[in-house]
Chain A
Amino acid sequence: DAGVTQSPTHLIKTRGQQVTLRCSPKSGHDTVSWYQQALGQGPQFIFQYYEEEERQRGNFPDRFSGHQFPNYSSELNVNALLLGDSALYLCASNEDRKDNYGYTFGSGTRLTVV
C-alpha cells in the first residue's frame, strides 16, 4: 500500500518565478494538508483540502494557493517566489481527521529559491 507520494523531490527556482508541487495521498485518505518546514524549524501548516475545497488555512499569504482533484490528489502553487520560500514542503493525508494518528506524511519536496 503506497503511502503519500510527492513530486518532485527537489526543485530549484529563481526569485519571482512560480512553482507547482504535487501530492498523491495514501490510499483511502480523502484529506490533504500542506506544510512548510524551514531548516531547523517544525513544519508550519499552510492549508488543508477536503472535497476539493480549502477547508482551513494557516498564516500564509495569498501567493500560496492549492487545489484538490476528484481523485484526492493535490497541488500546491506558490507565485512570485521569494528567497524565504526556500524550504521543505510536506504533504500529509488522512481520512477526514478521524484520528490524530491518521496523518501520513510524504518525504517532501525540497524547494530552493535562488
Chain B
Amino acid sequence: LAKTTQPISMDSYEGQEVNITCSHNNIATNDYITWYQQFPSQGPRFIIQGYKTKVTNEVASLFIPADRKSSTLSLPRVSLSDTAVYYCLVDPGNTPLVFGKGTRLSVIA
C-alpha cells in the first residue's frame, strides 16, 4: 500500500505557481521523499528528491517541514506541457517503488 496521500486532481492556469501537497504521516527515519511526473502513455520520470528542508532544481522545488509528515512540490510558472500526473513516494531507497494514484494536474490556457 502507498504510504502517501495527495489530492486526486488540481487545475491551474498557465503562468501560475502550482503547489501539490503530499501527506506521509508514517514516514520512517530513513525514508526519502521522491516525486515523479508521468505523461499519458509514458513511464514516470523522476522530478526531485529530498530528505528535509528545501531542495530545488531546474524543474521544481520541494519543501519538507521539520516533522517530515508532509511535503510540497512547487512548480513555478506552469505551462500546458506540465499537464501530467504527479506521484509522491516515500521509501528508504532499498525497496521497490510503491505508487499511489497520484495527482492529475491540468494546466489551462
Contacts and interface: CB of A to CB of B under 8 A. Distances in A.
A42 B102 contact: yes
B91 A108 contact: no
B94 interface: yes
Contacts of A35: 99
Interface string B40-76: 0111111001000000000000000000000000000
A27 interface: no
B104 to A, nearest CB: 9
Contact of A42 (B42, B46, B87, B95): B87
A90 B96 CA distance: 13
Given A99-B93, A100-B93, A103-B97, A4 B43 contact: yes
A42 B100 contact: yes
A110 interface: yes
A88 B97 contact: no
B32 to A, nearest CB: 5
Contacts of B32: 100
Interface residues of A, number: 28
Contacts of B89: 100
B93 A97 contact: yes
Nearest to B2: A42
Given A41-B101, A56-B96, A101 B49 contact: yes
Contact of A97 (B45, B49, B87, B94): B94
5 contacts: A58-B96, A88-B41, A97-B94, A98-B93, A108-B43
Q: What 8 pairs across the A-B complex have the smallest Cβ distances?
A: A105-B43, A42-B99, A101-B46, A45-B96, A100-B34, A43-B99, A90-B43, A101-B49
